[in-house]
Amino acid sequence: MPACPCGSGVDYGQCCQPLHNGQPAASPQALMRSRYAAFAMELADYLRASWDAETRPADLELTADTYWYRLEIHSAAEQGDDGQVHFSAYFREGSEWLKLTELSRFRRGADGFWRYLDGQAAFSCCVPGRNDSCPCGSGRKFKKCCG
Ligand SMILES: [Zn+2]
Ligand SMILES: [Zn+2]
């Protein structure tokens, strides 16, 4: 079983796969991780299903040339049926290296499922260091690989 794309270090089957298969998330952070993994795996149906009906976009287009390679959770909290997760997600879109930092809000529905409500997002340019190991996972230095 491969490592989960959310970067937890746990096998996909023990981490985000049960959520992708329809189990409720145990916490806003678990839901956020499963949504990041769904972006990485292009699971548009899951992204829609885990989006609050109030704010869910009518159409969800995932661009195939977006490559998500790292998730960092800064903090997570929940009070009753409201939750918040502050995170950064790193990705490459075409030839651009970017970082998304977002404070997301989550809400637990009457059915017990946490869903994404909305968030305050900021994008910044984030090119990996030349001597960092390449985010594509090749094991080579960035400057000798995708840089
Ligand atoms: Zn995961
Ligand atoms: Zn590379």
User: Which ligand has its closest atom nearest to the C-alpha of 140?
Assistant: 2
Question: Model confidence at 59, in pLDDT bands (50, 70, 90)?
Answer: confident
Q: Which amino acid is at 118?
A: D
- What is the model's pLDDT at position 103? 98
- What is the model's pLDDT at position 137? 85
Instruction: Using the mean position of ligand 2's atoms as its centre, give its distance from the Cα of residue 49 in Å.
Output: 33
Instruction: Flag whether pLDDT at 1 surpasses 80.
Output: no
Question: Where would I find the beta strands (DSSP E) of 59-113?
Answer: 66-79, 82-93, 96-108
Question: Does 31 map to a domain?
Answer: yes
Question: Model confidence at 119, in pLDDT bands (50, 70, 90)?
Answer: very high
Instruction: Using the mean position of ligand 2's atoms as its centre, give its distance from the Cα of residue 93 in Å.
Output: 14
What value does the mean pLDDT take over residues 96-101?
96
Q: What is the spatial order of strands in the sheet that 82-93 belongs to?
A: 66-79, 82-93, 96-108, 114-125
Domain range for 117 is: 12-144
Question: Does 7 map to a domain?
Answer: no
Q: What is the pTM of this model?
A: 0.93
- What is the model's pLDDT at position 31? 98
**Do 49 and 35 form a contact (C-beta atoms < 8 A)?**
no
Q: How many domains does the chain have?
A: 1
The residue with tokens 């096998």 is: 11
Distance from C-alpha of 74 to C-alpha of 8, rounded to nearest angstrom: 14
Question: Does 4 map to a domain?
Answer: no
Instruction: Using the mean position of ligand 1's atoms as its centre, give its distance from the Cα of residue 134 in Å.
Output: 21
